[in-house]
Structure 1
Amino acid sequence: MFRSTAIALTLALAALPAAAEPLARQLFGAVQAPSRGDSQPVGTYARGCAAGLVALPESGPTWQAMRLGRNRYYGQPEMIAYLEDLSRFAASLPGWKGLYIGDISQPRGGPMTGGHASHQIGLDADIWMLPPKRLDLSRSARESIGSISIRTEDQTRVNGNWTPQHMALLRAAASDPRVDRIFVAAAAKIAMCNAAPRGDRAWLQKIRPIYGHNVHFHVRLKCPAGSPLCQVQKPTVAELSKGGDGCDDTLNWWVTTYLEELRHPPKKPKRTGPPPKSAKTYVMSDLPAECRTILASP
């Protein structure tokens, strides 16, 4: 029923003015299965969709997919292979049976009904900070169990949950050539910058501090070869500078000025005109044209 509703709505879009279009997140969130055919990421990580996505098996020898009720465990084949590879490495770490894997993408990507601005083309995945002690959790347990935070409440330092195994896992995750960047709490990035030895720091450049990533880290893969519709993310200043590892003075901004502005937001000039579009407000005309075909295809 959900799938037929989404297809019917999509076919009707051409006859509607833009203002009457349903939200793209409602359409993509209603589809329960991937499209058939070759896999293809379309658009950007935060403004796109995906064809031919592959479901991560709910359980494997070294992983379990979490929050199955969300139906967000679909990714490009490269992402599924990457997660399986990284989970095997995780299983080699003391105290880890493998990985608990959170949201990847919806069956056809696109804007999500809630929770993410990105994860739209099957090349983003969230990996829990909680070391799995068992990999036989029931479906109901995977809905109720929670991860752990690896930073203090004031957000400035890692706490006792942070271990050398977390750093080893993130180092392995970032060292894979398929990875574009990894988002994690600033406190974790600082801890890794302080602990990484000289001569073994190139992987740190891919580790990016960001708010809210204290119970999981977010892996983003590069556009796969042969994906002409996938838009490469623009490099940052750190990427453009030779040998930058992101451990310079700018990292301290995240645990000083940034936190102060969160507590005491600076006054902003009054906005004129409509607010900028986002994953919450995109309609189909805001996405690449190919997304209409992907949404309506069998």
Structure 2
Amino acid sequence: MSQTPPNQPPVPYQNPTPPYGGYQGGGYSPVQEPRYNVLAIVSLVSAFFISLVAVITGHMALGQIKRTGEKGRGLAIAGLVIGYIGIVGSIISIIALVVMSVLGIGFFAAVANDYDPGDYSYTSDPYTSDPDVSTTSPDVLGGDLTFEAGNDLDPDSLAQFSDPFIIDSEWTVSSPDDGNGSWSYLDPSGLCTVSFYQGALSASTVTTAGDDRSTTASFLADVLTTDQKTIEDKMSDGTISYNFEGAGTVDTLLLQGTDDDGSNWKLAARGFGVLGSGLYVDVTCTPGGDVESVYDTVTTRAAITVF
């Protein structure tokens, strides 16, 4: 029988060396790649649809990535850049739309004011062919609204001025519409005041059925707070454009004179017995003002419309 040699120390136990560096004590711990930040992806995708969402999520993503070490910083930055470009583009588009709308309104107003019926080709006679209706009745786009034609107006119609000076920067509002149909301007020279009125005939105006001329004379006397006989020998016939400049004319009665301070004035009026309403325009110029030129401009451009 063999025996252990005397004085021989025992061999100590040693753990075996692991064959792979990742093996320790029976477990395996692989190195994990960092994942993409979800908000960074949302920022980039939404940048092509909703810019504001892209900007908000982009900033949130950058904050999270800084704390967590996630991937996606480039995506978040791209979403931010595209989002901000979209927001700036939207602002520019809105401003451009507003400017174009303002310019468009001014353009169409200018076109309406400068309308030339001579350039318009009618396909039929603008006057009615009904033998029971007066052929003197003016058309919407042309013809003359004489004193006699006023009898053929629809009683439910409305007569008023088309005011081109409201969009003319050279004319200054002297007094805005007072709510009763009265307003006024200063002409470009600043020496002439142009006053308008449109509204119902007062109770003191004598309306003569079938005679707009007599009705207008009474209306004119009422405006000047005098009696009709006093002005009959001083008034004369005049006209104001009808509907559009150059389209036709409206018969009016005209008074003119000079005040004690040297101011010159011209007052044109038209009363409509069928409508129970009247309109007048008064041009008053201080010395140095060209009352004739301003009056011609007003009665040509500020047409009377009936609709």
TM-score for the superposition, normalised by structure 1: 0.23
Greater relative CO, 1 or 2 (CA 8 Å, sep 6+): 1
TM-score for the superposition, normalised by structure 2: 0.23
Of structures 1 and 2, the larger Rg is shown by 2
* Structure having the larger proportion of residues in strand: 2
